[in-house]
Amino acid sequence: MQEDKDLGLGQSLAILFKASRAFWLVNLVNFVDGIAYFGILTLLTRYLGAELGFSDQQAGVAVSVFTGLVTLTMIGGGFVSDRLGVRRALSVSLLLLLLGRAILSGASELTASHLAAWIALVLMAIGSGVIQPALYAGVKEYTDARTATIGYSLLYSIMNLGIVAENFFSPFLRTNDVFLKLGDRAIHGLGLGIAGVFWFCTALTGVVLLCHLVAFTAELKPLEQRPDDPGQEQPVRVKSPFLDPRFMFFIFILLPVRTLFAHQWLTLPDYVFRCFPESVNSKFEWISGLNPLIIVVFVPLIASMTRRARVLNMMLIGTTLSAVTTFMLVPPPQLQLLLLYVALFSLGEAVWSSRFLEYVANLAPPGKVGSYMGLANIPWFMAKFTTGLYSGTMLNRYIPVEGPRDPSTLWLIYGCIACITPLGLLLARSWLTRVPSDKKE
């Protein structure tokens, strides 16, 4: 096993390219769904309010219920994925997503637009709840101990590469502003509005479903799993993660910092649209797109360099960086501080995101990866669901459409909440890393 111990990023990629065509087919779905899911989510609050007439509170609750349902259905979706297998689970989820996204895109043209939007959100939530565990299980099946760390980092990076692509093209589809300037020639956007962006995401979903049905055949078998690398940190597997108090604390202490991720689509869009000039908010997707761009570049690099670092250390560094940078939004709105916040917040996310996925997948027994991934996302469900219950009220109080605004207090409150996570990890560090007495020699 020594030859596997020092595999770098390039060597791991070479193994994946040669030995696992199915890994890249899984990530084709991952890439396109990243475009479609976040292309819709980034503008969903604005769409529900501006196009369908939802109030701030109604839009916040609707988006919160949707994102919460995505994570909640991942619990059942994990069992569905394990039972159907990766290939068939991806087929079912893509079909549900295609239907839901089509209904949502056309909801503004329907009389019962609110009802149509809710039906679409439920269908999309179920589809996403199945597709995510299936993607994780796909990486588990089509990598081995040599390539697992890079495999999970690439899963996260490729999803974010889809977000980068969508954030670049979204302003071109949505507005008729100048998109690019090439010398004296200006290229204007298509001016299709938010619904046009949503229809684009729907069309991509249909295309990738067709490609998946044609290319991902039953003949593609999982890789033969190699023994675990003895030099790599391995979690102690238990019958159920809910029977391990340290694991339960580990995933639930992430809830406060995860609220910041929910605020990226619940709060940040309206903050930018209401507190910055038109020249800034017309390119909001580009600002938002800094996050996935940084993730694409740094997640594989950091994962490769820190392959043998303890998960807890990576969590402490990453969550601290993400939480503390929120205080950059406390001063009066400035574009430079906004861009710096997005960059540093994203770097913190890059430090710990994929390692958490790897930790949970390694904990799962064979054939149970989807189930464990679904169960481990319960705190993420709670963060997304509860955040949306108050985000609309907080927006209306501190950043209303009309009247005096106080975004500084809003971000101060959210920053303090997020700091609970790194503080809790630090205080519980010795307990979390302690070797159980029955495991000591």
Q: Where residue 386 sits, what CATH number does that domain have?
A: 1.20.1250.20
Query: What pLDDT is attached to residue 1?
Result: 39
Residues 6+ apart with CB under 8 A from 281: 272, 273
DSSP 99-114: HHHHHHHTGGGSTTHH
128 lies in some domain = yes
Query: What pLDDT is attached to residue 439?
Result: 43
Nearest to 201 by CA among 91, 67, 105: 105
Look at residue 149 and tell me whether its pLDDT is greater than 70: no
87 lies in some domain = yes
Give the C-alpha separation, 416 to 424, whole Å.
Answer: 13
Give 364's pLDDT tier (boundaries 50, 70, 90): low
417 lies in some domain = yes
Encode pLDDT of 236-265 as tens digits: 555 565 666 776 787 788 889 988 988 887
Which residue has better confidence, 96 or 60? 96
8 lies in some domain = no
Place of tokens 């940190």: 233
Q: Which residues pair with 395 in a beta bridge?
A: none
Give the C-alpha separation, 148 to 140, whole Å.
Answer: 7
User: In the chain, what percentage of residues exceed pLDDT 90?
Assistant: 28
Residues 6+ apart with CB under 8 A from 180: 186, 187
Which tokens in the block code for residue 364?
A: 């799962």
Q: Which domain holds residue 393?
A: 22-215+241-434
* Torsion region of 111: left, alpha or beta (phi above 0 gives left; psi -120 to 50 gives alpha): alpha
Query: What pLDDT is attached to residue 405?
Result: 92
Question: Residue 116 carries which side chain, given as an amino acid letter?
Answer: A
Query: What pLDDT is attached to residue 411?
Result: 96
Which of the given ranges, 27-36, 75-84, 251-260, has the highest pLDDT on average?
Answer: 27-36
Contact between 81 and 370 (Cβ < 8 Å): yes
230 lies in some domain = no
Look at residue 75 and tell me whether its pLDDT is greater than 70: yes
Q: Is the dihedral of CA 24, 27, 28, 29 positive or negative?
A: positive
Query: What pLDDT is attached to residue 230?
Result: 44
DSSP 292-319: HHHHHHHHHHHHHHTTTS-HHHHHHHHH
227 lies in some domain = no
| Total domains in the fold of the chain | 1
- Average pLDDT of every residue of the chain: 80
165 lies in some domain = yes
Nearest to 304 by CA among 369, 358, 378, 250: 358
Give the C-alpha separation, 327 to 407, whole Å.
Answer: 11
Look at residue 363 and tell me whether its pLDDT is greater than 60: yes
Lowest mean pLDDT among 7-21, 123-137, 240-254: 7-21
DSSP 318-378: HHHHHHHGGGGGSSSP-HHHHHHHHHHHHHHHHHHHHHHHHHHHHHSPTT-HHHHHHHHTH
Q: What is each CA distance from 146 to 40, 138, 354, in whole angstroms?
A: 36, 16, 16
Query: What pLDDT is attached to residue 83?
Result: 83
Give the C-alpha separation, 345 to 120, whole Å.
Answer: 31
Q: What is the DSSP letter of 435?
A: P
Query: What pLDDT is attached to residue 441?
Result: 42
Query: What pLDDT is attached to residue 93?
Result: 95
Give 273's pLDDT tier (boundaries 50, 70, 90): confident
Which residue has better confidence, 327 or 372? 327
336 lies in some domain = yes
Look at residue 148 and tell me whether its pLDDT is greater than 80: no
Query: What pLDDT is attached to residue 31?
Result: 93
Contact between 428 and 249 (Cβ < 8 Å): yes
